[in-house]
Chains A and B, each alone.
Chain A
Amino acid sequence: MAAGEEPEILFWVGCAGSYDERAQKITRDICKILHHVGMKYAVLGTEESCTGDPAKRAGNEFLFQMQAMTNIEVLNAYNIKKIVTGCPHCFNTIKNEYPGLGGTYEVIHHTQLIQDLINEGKLKAEGGESFKGKKITYHDPCYLGRGNGIYEAPRKALEVLDAQLVEMKRCKSNGLCCGAGGAQMFKEPEKGKKDINVERIDEALETNPQFIAAGCPFCMTMLSDGIKLKDKEQEVKVLDIAEITARANGL
């Protein structure tokens, strides 16, 4: 980036993608996919900082706007036009809430990028692990689905695998939250009779899947914790759509 070259697309990694060990794997797989299709991309590295999403959802608009304006300054300085994010929260914030503060970009989520690449014929599902006939259920992240109406892109990315896609009872616009949104990720839940991620995992397990597909690092944490709690780690794998795509292409 510092070399003054302008990339085709900026990959916004996000805090989870940068620091969370599990999410780092997803980050690296997104890079592998970008590399595989020969796309010229860049990351901000240490110049990236939190979009401000958790601060905004928690009600701290000051902190959100401080973060937003600092980020916008960096993005505009590099003349960024198009951004792909690895997280629906970063996606929603940059796409919807940055324009009003002076940062207007074309923003897509990585599942949309994967769908585009499949549509353009640049990405297939070959040369790697076969998911043919495998039972996969997809969990809609709230900020991708209801928040922004994106239900099809992640499913298209899975359809190409020739796998058996099974929907949970509550899916798409009726999808049940994993329990992490609205800054819940960073606090203990209020008292109740069940944790939200356990409610969701119970529902996912009803479909008897081999894989649970996710599209959000926070959902990933909540769903993985749920699977661990249910002691199903051997039978059911929770994978991000980027990881599934990378595996299917042997990346």
Chain B
Amino acid sequence: MVAQILFLVITLAAIALFTVNFRKIIRNIRLGKSVDRNDQPQKRLITMLRVAFGQSKMVVRPIPAFLHFFVYIGFVIINIEVLEIMIDGIFGTHRIFHGLGGLYNFLIGSFEILALTVWVSCVIFLIRRNVLKLKRFRGVEMTNWPKSDANYILITEILLMSAFLLMNAADAKLQFLGSSHYTLAGSFPVSQYLMDVLPSSENALIAIERACWWVHIIGILAFLNYLPYSKHFHILFAFPNTYFSNLEPKGEFTNMASVTNEVKAMLDPSFVPAETEAGKFGAKDATDLSWVNLMNAYTCTECGRCTSVCPANITGKLLSPRKIMMDTRDRITEIGKNIDKNGAEHQDGKALLDDYITREEIWACTSCNACVEACPVNIDPLQIITELRRYAVMEESQAPGSINAMLGNIENNQAPWKYSPADRFNWAQEG
């Protein structure tokens, strides 16, 4: 009875804490500007099913796709087991679903095989990051915290799977010994090999089984509460992020409605502009970005596929699309903390542009969309870069000199070079 109450208290506390932190992130995302992403629900649903559920963009890199697939499937399916753990924990039952008979044995057997594949995949992932030190996991933005974050996640998953398998091994051995509380249930294709390493005393086995059971469930609840502080949030946000992703051709940049009004008024003095949000052009800080940009930032799991295909980054420039996303997330999180501490009106005098992302980075972008194409969860770093450029150019008139010269040429000669408009048709006379 004490165990049941303790279980209930821990579970409710964990869920409550997660809810508080989750709502803070939602609040932070809502600090972004509005943008309508509710059109074409059917196409959006299909995109989500294909890209997030179906992992379609992962297959470009077969080895990590294969390993990630096991971890993903393991995560989704082993969570069915959590349901049983919850019921057992609350009602003090043991393996409540054992009545399913053959199906139950099949399920437990499958969970075991998946647990093993998750375990092995995570070990390989750790080796790729810490021994092989793949280039993709390095870079200026991959400081101590992002590197540790990745390792914590992998180690936690390994521990969770180990506890699960060890728990089953002890359980199986207790069943074998005919221990009263341990009804014959389940099949143990993996953990049967662990039985031999366990002691044979019934009390010791019960202690191991219970300890692993608690480690497993508390581990899961702790992991849940780690998510809001971690890049691992993608396991939840991958789904809405792909659902609300851009469905238009990647080459298409948004036309700014606020600018359209001003341009129309300039070209036609009788034009009466429709009501639009007043405000600055482009983005200086994270709150000037759209909520989709901010959700992108929280979804990013720092895999670095974007940076590894970025032509600027490949050729040694400072720009890294992954850093753009991480900076955006860190900045909006900082703004959120400021609000919690000092109220909504608080200004800390910092901004995304210059304090996090430098001019050198935003001007190195070729807008080639390789980063957008590469992202397995449809994150769009290019939109953020564009918004920062818009601010630099339209609010500050601060661009590299040659860019200003090009803009001046378009303004004066209707071409980016210094040629006379009268000569535009000369190509027809020569050659």
Contact = CB atoms under 8 A, between A and B. Distances in A.
Interface of A: 13, 15, 17-20, 24-25, 27-28, 31, 43, 45-46, 48-50, 52, 54-63, 65-67, 69-70, 92, 96-97, 100-101, 142-143, 146-149, 170, 173-177, 179-196, 198-200
B430 A92 contact: no
Given A57-B367, A187-B363, A192-B315, 5 more contacts: A63-B407, A67-B410, A142-B366, A148-B250, A179-B315
Contacts of A188: 400, 402
B431 A65 contact: no
9 contacts: A28-B431, A52-B410, A59-B386, A62-B259, A62-B262, A96-B251, A175-B370, A177-B370, A186-B416
A210 B318 CA distance: 35
Nearest to A170: B309
Interface stretch (B89-97, B172-180, B284-292, B389-397): B389-397
Contact of B427 (A27, A65, A190): A27
Contact of A190 (B251, B317, B416): B317
B431 A24 contact: yes
Interface stretch (B108-116, B234-242, B339-347, B418-426): B418-426
A69 B264 contact: yes
A101 B252 CA distance: 13
B249 to A, nearest CB: 5
B394 A50 contact: no
B424 A48 contact: yes
B259 A57 contact: no
A15 B406 CA distance: 12
B59 interface: no
Contacts of A24: 427, 430-431
B200 interface: no
A145 to B, nearest CB: 9
B142 interface: no
Nearest to B363: A190
B417 interface: yes
B255 A173 contact: no
Contacts of B411: 63
Interface string B130-141: 000000000000
A167 to B, nearest CB: 15
Interface string B246-266: 001111110110011011101
A64 B312 CA distance: 25
Interface in B358-378: 360, 363-370, 372-373
A241 to B, nearest CB: 18
Given A146-B368, A179-B366, A190 B312 contact: yes
Contact of A49 (B317, B392, B421): B421
A69 B255 CA distance: 12
B366 A180 contact: yes
Contacts of A27: 427
Interface residues on B, range: 35 or more
B311 interface: yes
Contact of B366 (A19, A174, A182, A191): A182
Nearest to A186: B406
A49 B415 contact: yes
A159 B53 CA distance: 37
Given A25-B431, A55-B410, A176 B249 contact: no
Interface string B314-334: 111111000000000000000
A18 B427 contact: yes
Interface of B: 60, 248-253, 255-256, 259-260, 262-264, 266-267, 281-282, 309, 311-312, 314-319, 360, 363-370, 372-373, 386, 388-394, 399-400, 402-403, 405-407, 410-411, 414-417, 419, 421-428, 430-431
A59 B392 contact: yes
A197 B249 CA distance: 25
**Lowest 7 CB-CB distances: which A-B pairs, in order?**
A147-B251, A182-B367, A59-B389, A193-B316, A49-B414, A192-B316, A96-B252
A143 B316 contact: no
Given A59-B386, A59-B394, A181 B367 contact: yes
A226 B260 CA distance: 39
Contacts of A49: 414-415, 421, 424
Most buried by B among A58, A143, A175, A189: A58
A182 B403 CA distance: 11
Contact of B368 (A46, A142, A189, A192): A142
A180 to B, nearest CB: 7
Nearest to A24: B427
A59 B259 CA distance: 12
Nearest to B401: A187
A177 B366 contact: yes
B370 A149 contact: no
Given A15-B417, A142-B368, A179-B366, A58 B389 contact: yes
Contacts of B248: 96
A38 B118 CA distance: 64
Most buried by A among B262, B368, B426: B368
Contacts of A190: 312, 317-319, 360, 363-364
Nearest to A195: B315
Contact of A187 (B389, B402, B422, B428): B402
B417 A187 contact: no
B282 A142 contact: no
Given A50-B410, A97-B255, A187-B363, A147 B250 contact: yes
A54 B367 CA distance: 11
Contacts of A28: 427-428, 431
A194 B263 contact: no
A60 B366 contact: no
B315 to A, nearest CB: 4
